[in-house]
């Protein structure tokens, strides 16, 4: 299916429908089998935010707004103070999303009303991860934040902007930084760090005992999630800003060399 502008966000698939946002300001709903357009609606330019689908409602960031859409109708829209490239997270009736105005927002998923917002010192590209009422996210200011009900629980500073979205398991937060390092942090204390050869925009994926992540040095890494040592790495043709995905035992990841790689 062809849109009127390019697409830089990832699609979401639910109940036979593919949802994707584009720079032409539209959220598209397509039949997953035929690719036919079911509907589209203007939500503002979708430059990076990927849709989240829950019980038939689609949450997505477009322009300065976070919107809730169902069957081509906008249920509510909340305007932030900056552009949104962060993707939303939903937990216990609350939608969490970051914006370029340096705030993380917590909105009521039913009506879009503001529950709270938390200030940082930098733009927020990172998409939040929510575990047990704690929201983990990174900021351009170089910090990884852990926030609950609008209150800071702890934060950890790196030497570069945190574009990477965190992965959380057993209380350990894994993420990458533009300083080129991968971090494992628990309650603000560093467990281990692993240095790559360039900035990290890729978000980590946890598979069994391994942490998978890409780097702008052109490599994809599999790290021991307990100790941070390298299990293996593979050199691709260019920077690896995309995040890994696994299906049926195979690892998939894209590179700036215009190729999609499969391992396993």
Tens of pLDDT, residues 192-229: 999 999 999 999 999 999 999 999 999 999 999 999 99
Task: Specify if 122 maps to a domain.
Answer: no
The yes-or-no verdict on residue 163 having pLDDT over 70 is yes
DSSP lists the bridge partners of residue 37 as 30
Instruction: Using the structure block, give the residue that is written with the tokens 């209380």.
Output: 171
* Average pLDDT value for residue range 83-111: 98
Q: How many separate domains does the chain show?
A: 1
| Residue 49 domain flag | yes
Percent of the chain at pLDDT > 90 equals 84
Does pLDDT of 162 surpass 80? yes
Instruction: Decide if 188 is inside a domain.
Output: no
Is 92 a domain residue? no
pLDDT of residue 118: 99
Q: What is the pLDDT of residues 60-80, one digit of tens each?
A: 999 999 999 999 999 999 999
| Overall average pLDDT of the 158-165 stretch | 97
Residue 124 lies in a domain: no
Residue 38, pLDDT score: 97
Does residue 9 carry a pLDDT above 80?
no
In a domain, 37, yes or no: yes
pLDDT at 4: 66
Task: Assess contact for 195 and 235: CB atoms under 8 A.
Answer: no
Residue 222, Cβ density class (10 Å: 0-12 exposed, 13-18 middle, ≥19 buried): buried
Range of the domain at 35: 1-87
Residue 195, in any domain of the structure: no
Q: CA separation (Å) from 52 to 69, 91, 127?
A: 10, 12, 12
DSSP state of 45: -
CATH number of the domain encompassing residue 38? 2.40.128.630
- 26 belongs to a structural domain: yes
Q: What is the mean pLDDT of the chain?
A: 95
Residue 249: band (very low, low, confident or very high) from pLDDT cuts 50, 70, 90:
confident
Give the sign of the dihedral formed by CA 96, CA 213, CA 236, CA 217.
positive
């Amino acid at each position: 299916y062809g849109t009127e502008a390019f697409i830089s966000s990832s699609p979401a698939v639910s109940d036979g429908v593919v949802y994707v946002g584009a720079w032409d300001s539209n959220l598209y709903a397509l039949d997953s089998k035929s690719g036919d357009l079911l509907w589209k609606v203007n939500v503002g330019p979708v430059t990076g935010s990927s849709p989240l689908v829950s019980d038939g409602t689609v949450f997505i960031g477009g322009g300065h707004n976070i919107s809730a859409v169902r069957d081509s109708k906008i249920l509510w829209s909340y305007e932030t103070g900056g552009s949104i490239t962060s993707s939303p997270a939903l937990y216990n009736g609350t939608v969490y999303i970051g914006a370029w105005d340096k705030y993380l927002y917590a909105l009521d998923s039913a009506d879009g009303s503001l529950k709270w917002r938390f200030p940082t010192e930098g733009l927020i590209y990172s998409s939040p991860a929510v575990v047990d009422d704690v929201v983990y996210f990174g900021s351009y200011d170089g910090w990884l934040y852990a926030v609950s009900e609008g209150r800071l629980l702890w934060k950890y500073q790196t030497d570069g902007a945190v574009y990477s979205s965190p992965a959380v398991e057993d209380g350990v937060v894994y993420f990458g930084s533009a300083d080129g390092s991968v971090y494992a942090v628990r309650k603000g204390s560093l467990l281990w760090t692993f240095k790559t050869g360039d900035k990290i925009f890729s978000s980590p994926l946890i598979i069994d005992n391994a942490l998978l992540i890409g780097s702008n040095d052109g490599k994809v890494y599999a790290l021991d999630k307990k100790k941070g040592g390298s299990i293996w790495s593979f050199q691709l043709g260019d920077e690896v800003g995309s995040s890994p995905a696994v299906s049926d035992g195979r690892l998939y990841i894209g590179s700036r060399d215009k190729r999609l790689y499969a391992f396993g």
